[in-house]
Amino acid sequence: MKFVFYIVLATIVLALVAAQVGLLSGQRPGDLGVKDGRLKPPSLTRNSVSSQAALLPDHPQRAYAAVDPLPFKAAGAAASLKALEAVLLAMPGVTIVEQRPDYMYAQAQTRWLKFVDDVEFWANPASGVIELRSASRLGREDFGVNRQRIEAIRAAYLAAP
């Protein structure tokens, strides 16, 4: 019984050490951004969400990944992205990495294990919404973390002036 306790304790300590030196953060994908009016498709496993999942009717995770885009604020795309920026800056563990007039890329890092998720937003002028995608870099299952984050972003964004 003591042996099992020490094995579990050693596993936890090793995971925390690995996290602190960045071994659980993964690598930034090289294919992020907007290409032909689309963000990167959702992952093939249950670890991402996308407002553009419906554009891929044969995608194996289409139903799991589907989330609504963010509506533009009344003042338009620029004001909408500014409001979104304020929301992201207020969220713990979220860092905005790249900003353009119509696109924003952020990384969300978990507190203890330092897992990193890639979060993208694109102001789609044709539909008047901010398309979005959030995906875990590692693992096959995110246990709903990306959806929860996007819904928290949505709530704060909709509450902002």
Structural domains of the chain, count: 1
Query: Average pLDDT for residues 145-156, to the nearest whole number?
Result: 98
**Within a domain: 14:** no
**Within a domain: 3:** no
pTM, two decimal places: 0.87
- Does residue 16 register a pLDDT over 80? no
Torsion angles phi and psi, residue 152, rounded to 5: -70, -40
pLDDT tens across 61-102, in order? 999 999 999 999 999 999 999 999 999 999 999 999 999 999
**Within a domain: 7:** no
CATH number (domain holding residue 139)? 3.30.310
**Within a domain: 131:** yes
Q: Which domain holds residue 71?
A: 25-159
**Within a domain: 17:** no
Q: Where are the alpha helices (DSSP H) in the chain?
A: 2-20, 62-65, 77-90, 145-159
**Within a domain: 15:** no
Q: Are 104 and 81 in contact, with CB atoms under 8 Å apart? A: yes
The pLDDT mean for the chain works out to 91
